[in-house]
Amino acid sequence: MRLDLPVSELVAETATGWFPALRPAPRLSLAEWAEQHARLYDGGAFRPYAYQRAILDAMTDPAVRRITLMKSARVGYTQMLSAALGYFVAQRPSKIMVVQPTTEDAEDYSKDTIDPLGEWPVLAGLLSEVKAKTKGNTIKRKAFPGGSLRITGANSPRAFRRIDLDVLLFDEVDGYPPMAGKEGDQIALGLKRLTQSLHPLAVLGSTPLLDGESKIADAFAAGTMERYHLPCPCCGELQALVWGDGTGPGMRWTDNDPDTVHYVCVNGCPFGEEHKLDLLERGRWIGETPCKDHRSFHIWSAYSPLPGAAWPELVKEFLAAKRDREKLQVWTNTVLGECWVDRGEAPEWRRLYDRRETWEPGTVPAGGLFLTVGADVQRDRIEVSVWAWGRGKESWLIEHRVLPGDPFQAAVWRDLTSLLAETWRHESGTDLSVMMTAIDAGDGVTMEAVKAWVRNAGPRVMAIKGSSLALAPILGQPSAADVNYGGRKIAGGVKLWPVGTSAAKSEFYGFLRLDRPTEESGEPFPAGFVHIPQHVGEETVKQLVAEHRVTRGGKGRRSVTSWEKLRDRNEALDCRNYARAAAARQGLERMNDPAWTELERALGVPRDPAVPVAAAAPTARRVSRSSWLTE
């Protein structure tokens, strides 16, 4: 029954004005909300690029529970994350967690990215600091009406305990340690925290690193595998941009001139970057597999409208990196947004054998400026390699020597001590001594014998142990290996230095594949080139390439990459890895041009490799002295 009440005209007019104010604000998609409210670092309005809109909107699609973005640098991912955080604070309050690779990264992210969010007008006064209850806990926490925000590190074993979440943002997942302490895989742990949410969302984003070991690549393959397709301005064919190899679609330029860069489409049509903005607006995401609740995207720098990602800049960076394996890997990861495929098959030993160079045994060529030694302890011998190092990580195998003897007897250790006391004549006439020796103490049988010798061997000897972590650096931080009767570490005792053998082998094999320049070209040896002398025999060369890198798994199983032997004997390769770790300890990565110049001056080596060393070597030998290499 309808009830009519007499209402004055004034009251009716006033009440009518209330209704729009009482109506709830329209629910905006994330891209719409970001365009109205998100801010850049300089305070300007955020205008999402065309390829960003679908990614942002997927984060607020109720049918999508997981998003993966395999990306390069310079595509605006950090800004997209900031927009998402702002949305889930102001528009749809949620319990949120951001996971950075380490707790230190989490602290930096909180200061550099989260704190500025409070300056956005739409978020003013909403975010407040919450102090951690546990002493020493560096995890950052924020509270806001209806929700909370945690920023943590993937290396924190307690980060995923006893919490329920709605939104989980994984950032740079390929930089995560293998596990969060003993808890297990961080992504699997985090996803379990979303099971109680009515609107769960997990976002994984990262620049990929190594093929076969990339978490982001695995996650991308598990989703829709979408790439942004642009229409060719000439023929209209939709296609995803690729770098190419110069024979099909991709980037092209002439005479190493970046300013001549253009794109050739799948049908052979050339077009320039001036079409990019228009093509981006007309482009769309196209996936390879249907997957309703997990959308995965790949985007790389060529799509970015940023000036720093202009096509001539990308070509310039490629030309600077293409001859250096390490730089090319970084370029592949950060520009193409692709995994680095390490061509881990061992170089052919015969090719290396045939390219050996001639110099007098027991001497060091002009480019070798300091020496390190790698020693591998076997049950009946110690094998030793002496390597010289020069600019750009160029290296020379000076000699490989086998010292027969039982490591549990004193004689073989006396021989090793005598070898390390020797000097090697440099081409300039100076005598070089060994700057650092790395000896393997990872064998449980011989470890104590090695440690006993290292205790009295002096400061230029380090005990090392191979690390099983695939992404371990060539040389890590040492740990105390000597303890007293109470189990406490002895100050000044033997330390064990972890050596990332996978990284060392990958670098070495990459260097071995570098081509020797022709005499006609007159070009210098490329950075990292490995010189093998004529006086080193076939067996040693075979040992240097005695392993190859194998990836097993796939087709539903997690891929596992490992190094496997091609033959039983590989001591020369192990010794090379240990000598490389010793060079890292000596500062090979940190040495800049003044440091190398100082070494060259101490040895009397001309700075310009084209300038010959004086024909007449000094009759009196002198020992090299360099303040840079003096501890």
For 54-103, the DSSP string reads HHHHHTT-TT--EEEEEE-SSS-HHHHHHHHHHHHHHTS--EEEEEESSH
Angle at 556 between CA 552 and CA 560, to 5 degrees: 25
Helices of type H across 513-570: 538-544
264 found inside a domain: yes
Cα separation of 70 and 74, whole Å? 13
Give the model's pLDDT for residue 554: 47
- Residues 245, 291 share a domain: no
**Eight-class DSSP state of 208:** -
pLDDT given at position 289: 86
- CATH code: domain of residue 71: 3.40.50.300
Q: Are residues 518 and 541 in the same domain?
A: yes
Q: Give the separation between CA 108 and CA 505, rounded to whole angstroms.
A: 33
pLDDT digits (tens, 9 = 90+) for 29-81: 899 999 999 999 888 999 999 999 999 999 999 999 999 999 999 999 999 99
Whether 420 and 556 map to the same domain: the answer is yes
Considering the domain boundaries, does residue 337 fall inside one? no
pLDDT of residue 182: 67
pLDDT in tens, 299-315: 999 999 999 999 999 99
Closest by CA to 271, choosing from 315, 311, 232, 308, is: 232
- Write the CA distances from 142 to 131, 151, 330, 528, 546, integer angstroms: 9, 9, 35, 48, 54
**344 occurs within a structural domain:** no
Residue 621's pLDDT is: 39
Percent pLDDT > 90 in the chain is: 63
Q: What is the pTM of this model?
A: 0.57
Same domain for 213 and 319, yes or no, is no
Residues 271 and 188 in one domain: no
Query: How many angstroms separate the CA atoms of 590 and 139, rounded?
Result: 32
Structure tokens at 611: 């300038």
Query: Residue 470: left (phi > 0), alpha (psi -120 to 50), or beta?
Result: alpha
Do 576 and 520 share a structural domain? yes
Q: Are residues 396 and 322 in the same domain?
A: no
Residue 293 and residue 272 share a domain: no
pLDDT at 604: 84
Q: In whole angstroms, give the CA distance from residue 51 to residue 228.
A: 7
Q: Is the residue at 592 inside a domain?
A: yes
Residue 314 shares a structural domain with residue 294: no
Is 405 inside any structural domain?
yes
pLDDT of residue 309: 96
What tokens appear for 265 in the block? 């489409």
Give the model's pLDDT for residue 151: 93
Q: How far apart are CA 534 and CA 361, in angstroms?
A: 9
What's the pLDDT score for residue 597?
Answer: 92
pLDDT at 350: 87
Range of the domain at 324: 237-284+309-331
- Is residue 511 domain-resident? yes
Tokens 């070494």, located at residue: 599
Residues 295 and 405 in one domain: no
On the CB side of 189, how many CA atoms lie within 13 Å of its CA?
A: 22
Same domain, 292 and 419: no
Q: What is the pLDDT of residue 625?
A: 43
CA distance from start to end of the chain: 98
Distance of alpha carbon 178 from alpha carbon 470, whole angstroms? 9
The H or E element containing residue 117 is helix 115-117
Between the alpha carbon of residue 252 and those of residues 264, 270, 562, the distances in Å are 7, 9, 36
| Cβ–Cβ under 8 Å, residues 249 and 266 | yes
Q: Please tell me the number of Cα atoms within 13 Å of 463 on its side-chain side.
A: 23
What is the number of structural domains in the chain?
3
Kindly state whether residue 175 falls inside one of the protein's structural domains: yes
> Is position 629 within any domain?
no
Asked if 478 contacts 496 with a C-beta cutoff of 8 angstroms, the reply is yes
Do 241 and 367 lie in one domain? The reply is no
Report the DSSP beta bridge partners of residue 45.
Answer: 39
Spans of the chain below 70 pLDDT: 1-26, 130-139, 180-183, 341-346, 483-492, 551-560, 607-631
User: Is-contact 48 34, C-beta < 8 A?
Assistant: yes
